[in-house]
Every structure is written in C-alpha cells, then in structure tokens.
Amino acid sequence: MSDQSQGSPLFVQESGDETGVPILFIHGFPLTGQMWEAAVAQMPEEYRCIIPDLRGLGESEAADPHSMAAYADDLAGLLDDIDEKRPVVVVALSMGGYVAFEFYRRHRAKVRALALIDTRANSDSAEARAGRMTMIEKVKASGSKAVADAMIEKLFAANVDPELKQEWYEIMSSQPPEGVVGTLQAMADRADSTPMLASIDCPTLIVCGDQDVITPPDVHQEMHAAIAGSRLEIVAESGHMTPLEQTDEFTNILCEFLETLE
Ligand code: MLT
C-alpha cells in the first residue's frame, strides 16, 4: 500500500492497479481506514483501492465544519487530487454509509456503484440524538475512551476473537477527541436518506452481519426492498464489523459484485 496526504486534507492509502476499477472505501465511527486493511489485502491487484481516513479520525486532521456534506466534499476533493476522474465504486460501512448517501446526493456523477455495509438510511431518532449529545459531553470530559467503552460490546458477534476486539477497542480509544466530537455531531445532524432510496439507480450491494445489533438485518432488508435491483447478503456469525469479522466471505461477496459491473 502507498500513503499520500499531500494536496488533500485527508490522509489516504492506496493499493492495486491505478488503471483498474476505482473503489473508494469509507470507514465507520470512530474508526479509520485501517478497518479495510484485511479485506483490501485479499482484493485482486486489478482494482484501484482508495482508503481515506475521514477528517478528524486516524491520520486526517480535524477541520470545521463536521457534517456529512463536508465529509462527502472531502472525498470528492480527494478523488480530484489523486486524479481519479472516473466514477468510483463506493464501499461504505455504518457511518461510512451515511457519508456515502451524502456523496451520492452531492456527487452523483462520481458514483459507479454502491456497497452499503452494516449501515442504515434513516436519520437519528430524538432519543439517539440525545444520546449523541450526552456522549459528546463525556468525550469532552474524559476522552475518546468513553465512546470505545460504550460501543465495544455492541460492535462484534458474540464469538469474535478477543484479540480483534481488544485491538479495535484500543484504536477507538486513541482517536482524537476533537474528531470524535465532530463526527458525533455530524451523525446527529445527518439527513434522512430513506426518501432517496427509491431514486438510487446505480448497481447496489447491501451486506449485513446476522448478529449486527447496531444496524440489524431488518434495516438492510428495508433498504433492499427500497433500492430497485439491489442485492442483499446476510453474513453468518458476524456482528456490525463484517469486513473484519468475516473477511473471506466479505471479500468474496464484494468481488462477485464487482465482477457484475465489468
Ligand atoms: C458506526 O459504526 O459507524 C456507528 O455505529 C454508526 C452510528 O453510531 O450510527
């Protein structure tokens, strides 16, 4: 993989053939592009894999404003910076999916296909929003560990390797509080993308872990029903982190979908 952070506010890693079908991987909260590493390592070299850290997370600096629109525009700017003018396949997990919907809304011409992984289209309920505001105060008072403590038991399926869980607990705990606060606010403020689902007219793959308690299978079944021609895959023995928990199966599903595009 090669790293690049000049010219764009986002830190990005790339792998594969620059001339191959471009795939933009968007990570979840409060994670980093590193969450795609295992899956991307299994991708055939023929694809151009583009793996940024969203602003304020991983190695990308925080910058105001924090909003789904800003994140989507960052990604469009990144594609320009790396001279990727072709429409990309957007592969997005959870919060990455919220960004993907905004990217589709604002930069439709840049989207060749969507792969929506362990995510949802609706916006926060009043209760979920209030929970985000409480969490913002906790992170301001005691750092990002507050988010890691609240999320870690919900992220993975029951039988996950404890080392994988510990590794991601540490990664989440070490995210810069400013970026974590910003992304919490951006998620709380995000638009409801449910009305847009019926108008999505690019090839769409939807993937969900059968034990995902954050964005459960029924949420994905609803998206599948609303997006014409979409394909739904429910992955066994996986929680909310399917690309990390069932990497082989996830990569197979993604590659099969990519082959249908060619
Ligand atoms: C994520 O995994 O990105 C988050 O759980 C999304 C959310 O909190 O809504």
- Give me ligand 1 centre to Cα 125, in Å: 14
With respect to residue 156, please indicate whether it lies within any of the assigned structural domains. no
Task: Give dist(CA 80, CA 74) in Å, integer.
Answer: 10
- Structural domain tally of the chain? 1
Tokens of 10: 């986002």
Task: Give dist(CA 12, CA 4) in Å, integer.
Answer: 5
Read off the CATH number of the domain in which 97 is found. 3.40.50.1820
Task: Give dist(CA 226, CA 230) in Å, integer.
Answer: 9
- Give me ligand 1 centre to Cα 183, in Å: 10
Other beta carbons within 10 Å of 222: 16
With respect to residue 227, please indicate whether it lies within any of the assigned structural domains. yes
Average pLDDT of the chain, as a whole number: 96
- Look up the pTM and report it: 0.96
With respect to residue 186, please indicate whether it lies within any of the assigned structural domains. no
pLDDT of amino acid 2: 57
- Give me ligand 1 centre to Cα 27, in Å: 10
What atom in ligand 1 is closest to the CA of residue 240? 2
Q: What's the whole-number mean pLDDT along residues 147-153?
A: 97
With respect to residue 146, please indicate whether it lies within any of the assigned structural domains. no
With respect to residue 132, please indicate whether it lies within any of the assigned structural domains. no
With respect to residue 243, please indicate whether it lies within any of the assigned structural domains. yes
With respect to residue 166, please indicate whether it lies within any of the assigned structural domains. no
Residue 60: domain span: 2-124+191-260
- Give me ligand 1 centre to Cα 93, in Å: 8
Tens-digit pLDDT profile for residues 54-81: 999 999 998 999 999 999 999 999 999 9
With respect to residue 234, please indicate whether it lies within any of the assigned structural domains. yes
Q: What's the whole-number mean pLDDT along residues 136-155?
A: 98
What atom in ligand 1 is closest to the CA of residue 154? 5
User: Which of 50, 54, 84 has its CA nearest to residue 69?
Assistant: 54
* 132, pLDDT greater than 80: yes
CB-based pocket (< 6 A), ligand 1: 28-29, 94-95, 187, 214, 240
Percent of the chain's residues with pLDDT above 90: 95
